């Protein structure tokens, strides 16, 4: 991408609103990438380096500000520490002295990032151990709640304390994953806990999340004799024969959790709002709505399904994790040996069935044919009318045909 060079913004006078400076910097810059380049240019023009600064109260020398095109990482600062070693950190962690001419630009960047301002008051930043056994000698496990541009909102696995993680190296994470982090620093800013450290591993384990399973409401008995299996005289598909032979089974509807829904507005639906953003090309806005729902309640299965949908085309490995988290959380309600029916016609069953469908497609796409086949078989056993068409996929999967062969048909 060709780097855009914006006009040099005017120096902010003391007391001038930071928002005015932000608007000067990003004028004619559209989208996060262009605006980050605009800030990069503003730093180059107005922040004299090397310069003295602090990070969480510790003195450093900033050698260079830069941007490598990764919007999640944002602007970085290469620093020389007191012991002479060098480290690259996020530019939002840098604090310049109040009288430094470059300080307003660092403050403006923090404001653009949506972070609270703490200009020239380093005393308010204090180190504080996270209450649940954070120590510098071992890793801790955190539950990912949502992923921001440069940070991850988490909660401690052993408790309900929430904190913001600033990883040294950014991972593509899914809400509901459990990450093992080796802590580096922990502090409180504006009465909110923060932690920096190295993510060492991640895993999906819904049983460890401490969630209350979604309710299953009984909806009577499903009888295969009352289903339409094709025109009279037409042969019944092999996939349907064992389902019919199994006979009547209990049917259920799974509780749907939808944070942000207005119970007084019949048309209030944050999932629909997210889809509207996606259709308008605002993928960042769509993802933001979905991750906010996950942060409020990880049991929002439709948010996991639609996060998977956002990444399915270009980031299938990421999409697979979103779908799998939704599947595993939904399975908490089913337990081992579940033999009931979850019909697609019952609206609240659809989020779980969407997660299953996306999960199966991603497994197939990854060449995991046996696992994909198990998922598709499970889908039409759970929903015998098979509204999602899983029965049309099993033959190709069993024949180990690549997923692209189906997509291209």
Handedness of CA 29, 47, 124, 61 (dihedral sign): positive
Instruction: Give the span between the Cα atoms of 247 and 224, in whole angstroms.
Output: 6
Hunting for tokens 């941007």 — which residue is that? 67
Quote the CA–CA distance of 360 and 352 in Å, as a whole number. Answer: 12
Q: What pLDDT score does 136 carry?
A: 41
Tell me which residue of 160, 94, 170 sits closest to 130, measured CA to CA. 160
**pLDDT value of residue 206:** 95
Q: How far apart are CA 129 and CA 135, in angstroms?
A: 8
- The radius of gyration of the chain's CA atoms, rounded to the nearest angstrom, is 26
d(CA 280, CA 142): 34
The pLDDT of residue 117:
62
Instruction: Please tell me the predicted confidence (pLDDT) of residue 219.
Output: 95
Mind listing the pLDDT tens digit of every residue in the chain (409 residues)?
444 444 444 444 433 578 888 888 887 677 788 889 889 888 988 898 889 999 877 888 999 999 988 877 889 999 988 777 888 888 988 999 888 888 999 999 988 887 766 544 433 444 444 444 444 447 899 999 998 767 899 999 877 788 989 887 767 899 999 999 988 888 886 677 888 888 999 999 999 999 999 999 999 999 999 888 876 767 888 889 999 999 999 999 999 999 877 666 666 788 999 999 999 988 888 998 999 999 999 999 999 999 999 999 999 999 999 999 999 999 999 988 899 999 999 999 999 999 999 999 999 999 999 999 999 999 999 999 999 999 999 999 999 999 887 766 5
Tokens of 42: 């503003």
Place of tokens 């009888």: 223
Q: Distance between CA 362 and CA 101 in Å, rounded?
A: 51
Beta-strand ranges (E) seen in 121-261 are 126-127, 140-147, 152-156, 162-167, 178-189, 192-203, 216-222, 249-254
Counted residue by residue, the chain has a size of 409
Set out the domains of the chain in order of their start, with CATH numbers: 18-114 (no CATH), 127-203 (2.40.50.140), 216-257+297-407 (1.25.40.10)
Q: Which two tokens stand for residue 153?
A: 């909102």
Q: Give me 288's structure tokens.
A: 């933001």
Burial bucket for residue 148 (CB in 10 Å: 0-12, 13-18, 19+): middle
- Cβ 96 vs Cβ 103: under 8 Å: yes
**Gap between the Cα atoms of 180 and 204, Å rounded:** 12
């Amino acid at each position: 991408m060709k780097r855009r060079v914006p006009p040099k913004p005017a120096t902010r006078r003391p007391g001038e609103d930071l928002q005015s400076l932000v608007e000067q910097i990003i004028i004619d810059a559209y989208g996060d990438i262009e605006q980050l380049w605009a800030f990069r240019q503003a730093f180059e023009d107005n922040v004299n380096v090397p310069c003295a600064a602090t990070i969480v109260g510790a003195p450093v020398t900033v050698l260079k500000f830069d941007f490598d095109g990764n919007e999640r990482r944002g602007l970085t600062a290469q620093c020389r520490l007191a012991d002479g070693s060098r480290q690259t950190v996020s530019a939002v962690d840098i604090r310049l002295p109040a009288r430094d001419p470059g300080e307003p630009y660092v403050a403006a960047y923090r404001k653009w990032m949506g972070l609270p301002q703490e200009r020239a008051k380093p005393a308010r930043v204090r180190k504080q151990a996270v209450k649940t056994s954070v120590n510098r000698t071992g890793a801790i496990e955190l539950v990912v709640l949502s992923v921001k541009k440069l940070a991850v909102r988490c909660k401690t696995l052993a408790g309900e304390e929430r904190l913001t993680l600033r990883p040294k190296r950014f991972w593509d994470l899914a809400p509901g994953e459990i990450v093992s982090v080796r802590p580096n620093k922990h502090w409180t800013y504006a009465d909110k806990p923060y932690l920096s450290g190295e993510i060492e591993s991640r895993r999906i384990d819904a049983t460890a999340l401490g969630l209350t399973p979604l309710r299953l409401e009984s909806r009577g008995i499903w009888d295969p004799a009352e289903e339409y299996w094709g025109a009279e005289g037409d042969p019944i598909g092999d996939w349907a024969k064992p389902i019919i032979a199994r006979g009547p089974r209990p049917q259920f509807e799974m509780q749907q959790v939808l944070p942000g829904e207005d119970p007084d507005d019949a048309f209030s639906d944050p999932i629909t709002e997210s889809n509207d953003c996606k259709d308008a090309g605002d993928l960042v806005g769509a993802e933001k709505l979905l991750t906010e729902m996950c942060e409020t309640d990880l049991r929002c299965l439709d948010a996991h399904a639609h996060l998977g949908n956002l990444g399915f085309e270009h980031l299938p490995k990421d999409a697979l994790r979103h779908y799998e988290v939704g599947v595993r959380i939904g399975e908490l309600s089913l337990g081992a040996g579940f033999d009931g029916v979850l019909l697609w016609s019952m609206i609240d069953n659809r989020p779980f069935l969407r997660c299953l469908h996306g999960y199966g497609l991603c497994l197939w796409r990854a060449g995991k044919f046996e696992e994909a086949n198990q998922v598709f078989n499970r889908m039409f056993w759970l929903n015998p009318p098979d509204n999602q068409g899983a029965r049309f996929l099993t033959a190709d999967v069993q024949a180990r045909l690549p997923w692209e062969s189906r997509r291209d048909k």
